[in-house]
A and B are shown apart, each in its own frame.
Chain A
């Protein structure tokens, strides 16, 4: 059995995706390929302009059948929905399965920071979490991927040669034994097979 098949044998509770430079089109692509009844929640933490509050969700929503929103503080998470970290807030997660927002200091020059989202979700979901890190121009997300791995979750980075800027996946690969390095079409295929063991 390949590593990928082995991973797909198990059951998961959520997918977290992080990305920066170049990741917007990748996210649109991924979200357009997932069915309405996708069996897990997807949480996206993507670097974005802090003062631009609207437009981002709408642009992601155009090609997707899934409901996409920015969670308010303390909103309970639901499967089959997509949640995006709001501009100028860190997005965390609480035991009891609801979101919590914060305006703490920037991390890696970013708010939202991928490290915070990944770390917070892996603390709650442990080995039931899938973390995916996409293209990006800084090192945010590398420590977050390490937390996902240390808590027993699955780690996936976008194939660096396919990235607009490969700093982000490479930074994660440098400090953690990443489970899978996949192209975007392979990430989509992986997501479509999640929680559907054959």
Chain B
């Protein structure tokens, strides 16, 4: 297969916008190119023209495309040290409001949300929170809602949890059968799942904490900047913004409106309107 050039990628984003109504022009091109190449290989399509035809003849549905283009690799308690720090931050959120509103923007298959629920449960805060989890991909949201994790992935999840809490037992939050672990329905009931595309995000509510970890790395700086501005608007004063451990907001227009709570784990706090 021929390597896709930058003009071809631009042409493709136009076709996608037209056919599916989703704008990918603000995506980081290196990973976008890899995802497109991956879909083309998967669908055994050899050229861009053939791929465009594939889209136009509806051989590839919008839902399929969104599912394949997004990265859905995640773990329970990814970065255990982050969760140890978060555990000390969460109790402070109750100082701002009696009902703490948390948003997981880009929740993928849900592991980060389950981790949050476990931490909140262990802190005795589970009845003090309202959680929203969103993703652009409706099929992955469905999976997140189910709370079903293949046993193959549970080994890593359990190891991560032990690194977070060496004396705890993560198994108590799951029911097991031969192939899957099922996350506690009771804990899951605290979460509202919603389809949201961050590309055209408009403020729709106020939150005490927004987590958007390893999501904006797939966007270019302009789009990141735009979204960070909206997150700032959607946070209560002294609310927390959390991004991935290798992301930074210091270069953005909103940077001076946040204080750094933890440099390593990329936890910020809104302190200016």
Could you tell me which A residues sit within 8 Å of B by CB distance? 51, 53, 70-75, 86, 88-89, 92-95, 100-105, 116, 120, 123, 150
Measured as residues with beta carbon below 8 angstroms from the partner, the interface class of chain B is 20 to 34
- Judge whether A100 and B73 touch: CB under 8 Å: no
Name the CB-closest residue of A to B80. A51
Give the CA-CA distance A92 to B244 in the complex, in Å. 16
Distance from B155 Cβ to chain A, minimum over Cβ atoms (Å): 13
- Shortest distance between the CB of A45 and any CB in chain B (Å): 14
Determine the residue in chain B with the shortest Cβ distance to A75: B248
Expressed in whole angstroms, the minimum distance between the Cβ of A58 and any Cβ of chain B is 14
Q: Look across to chain B and name the residue whose beta carbon is closest to the beta carbon of A89.
A: B246
Please judge, given known A-B contacts A95-B6, A123-B3, whether A100 and B163 are in contact too, CB under 8 Å.
no
- The listed residue (B6, B29, B160, B246) touching A73 by CB distance below 8 A is B246
Q: In the complex the two chains form, is A92's CB within 8 Å of B30's CB?
A: yes
State the main secondary structure of chain A at its contact with B: loop
B221 close to chain A: CB less than 8 A? yes
A102 with B31, Cβ < 8 A, contacts A53-B81, A73-B217, A74-B224 known: yes
Within 8 A of A (CB), among B50-76: 71, 73-74
Q: Nearest Cβ distance between residue B169 and chain A, in whole angstroms? A: 19
Please tell me if the beta carbons of B246 and A86 are within 8 angstroms of each other in the complex. yes
Q: Would B28 and A100 count as touching, CB distance under 8 A?
A: yes
**Shortest Cβ gap from A106 to chain B (Å):** 8
Give the chain B neighbours of A100 by CB distance below 8 A. Answer: 28, 30-31, 217
Once bound together, how far apart are the Cα atoms of A93 and B192, in whole Å?
36
- Are A70 and B34 in contact, with the CB atoms below 8 A? no
Chain B residues contacting A103 (CB-CB under 8 Å) are: 71, 73-74, 214, 217
